[in-house]
Amino acid sequence: MRARVALRVTGIESRRVLEPLAERHGWPLVIGASPLAQGFALEFENDRLQLRDLERPKLGALAVDFLSDSMRHRRRHGLSKNQIFAKAIGVGHRPGRTVVDATAGLGTDAFMLACMDCKVVAVERSPVAYELLEDGYRRALDDEEVGTWLPDYLRLARGDASAYLGALSEDERPDVVYLDPMYPKIEGKSALPKKEMQLFRKLIGPDADSERVLELAREVARDRVVVKRPHEAGPLAPGATRSFEGKTARYDMYAAPPRSRG
């Protein structure tokens, strides 16, 4: 079931940004303090698009921010090629890896891969998530430092991962396809994820077609497919050739099958 989304207009600039979203997606515009009680509200405040869960106001607003202090710190100090994530993707194995992040979400992993000199296409099918992602990308392009290199290393693609992967030509095939599917709640796990993920999980819901996307990804990737999984979850599909255990997640690697030369 699609999440109910309204666009809350709070001023002239807010209306300028939100009206095109209303036309594109059919989301209703709500003016100012008009009461909203259910679903989600998208707002444009302080030069950023942000999302609120109207039923859980204490979670606060969610926005994509590639320029936050935490992201700057990770970019400057946490990009060692010995990181588990980098090892799983194969950073250092060959310079300039091409990667399709087929489940981009809020773009954190795609941005970090771009910071590792990978050429990344971030694909996202949720209309709300994509609008947040595109807004964060816009602000990053305006940054004096990040904006000079980001367009060469990260592109966004709106749409379904299966359709995107299925439409790639031979020349467009990436070295790596990366999947971080939204997974259902794991039985027996009581600790709640961080606030942003609680909101995002409610908005997106589980990815019911993850196995199909993995199957397509294995047909497309030149080198490997990498699937991020929680430690408590089993593999998305059998056949992983290697697993990389991190502190907060596991990365299952599926080697691309050899292709016939004929």
Mean per-residue pLDDT, 113-135: 95
Contact 144, 201 (CB under 8 A): no
pLDDT score, position 262: 43
129 to each of 5, 42, 62, 102, 212, how far by Cα in Å? 12, 11, 10, 13, 21
Average per-residue pLDDT for the chain: 87
pLDDT score, position 203: 80
Give pTM, 2 decimals: 0.90
Q: Kindly report which listed range (21-30, 114-123, 144-153, 175-184) carries the lowest average pLDDT score.
A: 175-184
Mean per-residue pLDDT, 28-46: 81
Angle 173-162-164 (CA atoms, 0-180°, nearest 5)? 50
pLDDT at 188 over 70: no
pLDDT at 178 over 70: yes
pLDDT at 93 over 50: yes
Per-residue pLDDT tens digits for 39-87: 899 999 999 999 998 888 888 889 999 998 888 877 776 566 558 999 9
Q: What backbone torsions phi and psi does residue 238 show, to the nearest 5 degrees?
A: -70, 160
Name 121's bridge partners: 100, 155
**Two tokens, residue 88:** 């799983």
Contact 146, 140 (CB under 8 A): yes
Non-local (6+) Cβ contacts of 247 within 8 A are none
Mean per-residue pLDDT, 221-250: 92
pLDDT score, position 41: 92
* Domains of the chain from N-terminus onward: 5-62 (3.40.1630), 69-255 (3.40.50.150)
Distance CA 216, CA 222 (A): 12
Please report, as a single letter, which amino acid is at residue 146: V
pLDDT at 195 over 80: no
Q: What backbone torsions phi and psi does residue 99 show, to the nearest 5 degrees?
A: -135, 135
pLDDT band at 223 (very low <50, low <70, confident <90, very high): very high
Contact 89, 114 (CB under 8 A): no
DSSP 218: H
pLDDT score, position 199: 78
Among all chains, which residue has been given the structure tokens 């030369």?
261
Contact 113, 99 (CB under 8 A): yes
Please report, as a single letter, which amino acid is at residue 206: P
pLDDT score, position 251: 96
